[in-house]
């Protein structure tokens, strides 16, 4: 039997089909459960190109990049997008920064301690 190629081993071990989730609470009330698939280099390229087209720059450390990650990747349980580009001004003006930072941190996390569907608040 031929040995599996390195690329095949990586794809099998780190499937982008596996989704993570994060529950956003206000006190004890569940407000929203957000799901997403892992952020890939292709996703980052798309997000950076979107930001460049909007004259927002291409710095992955800025909040525009993080907001675009939320808009691009956040889904409900069935896989439907939770936000649109039109929601960005509302997210910027009407949602507390602490809530967005918490979600952005979870979505961009690369730590092994967070397994799919194991990220909870």
For the ranges 9-23, 45-59, 76-90, 105-119, the one whose mean pLDDT is highest = 76-90
Domain hosting 53: range is: 16-108
Report the pLDDT averaged over residues 1-6: 83
pLDDT in tens, 93-110: 999 999 999 998 898 875
Q: Which CATH number goes with the domain that contains 72?
A: 3.30.2220
Percent of the chain with pLDDT over 90: 57
121, 102 in Cβ contact below 8 A? yes
Overall domain count for the chain = 1
- pLDDT for 61 equals 60
Instruction: Answer yes or no: is 118 within a domain.
Output: no
Query: How far, CA to CA in Å, does 81 sit from each of 22, 55, 92, 116?
Result: 15, 24, 18, 18
């Amino acid at each position: 039997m031929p040995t599996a190629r390195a690329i095949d081993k990586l794809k099998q071990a780190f499937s982008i089909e596996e989704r993570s989730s994060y529950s956003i609470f206000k006190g004890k009330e569940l407000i929203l459960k957000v799901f997403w698939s892992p952020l890939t280099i292709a996703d980052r390229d798309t997000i950076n190109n979107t930001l460049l087209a909007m004259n927002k720059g291409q710095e992955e450390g800025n909040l525009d990049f993080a907001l675009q990650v939320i808009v691009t990747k956040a889904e409900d349980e069935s896989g439907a997008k939770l936000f649109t580009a039109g929601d960005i001004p509302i997210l910027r003006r009407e949602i507390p920064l602490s809530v967005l930072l918490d979600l952005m941190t979870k979505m961009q996390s690369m730590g092994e301690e967070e397994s799919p569907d194991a990220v909870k608040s």
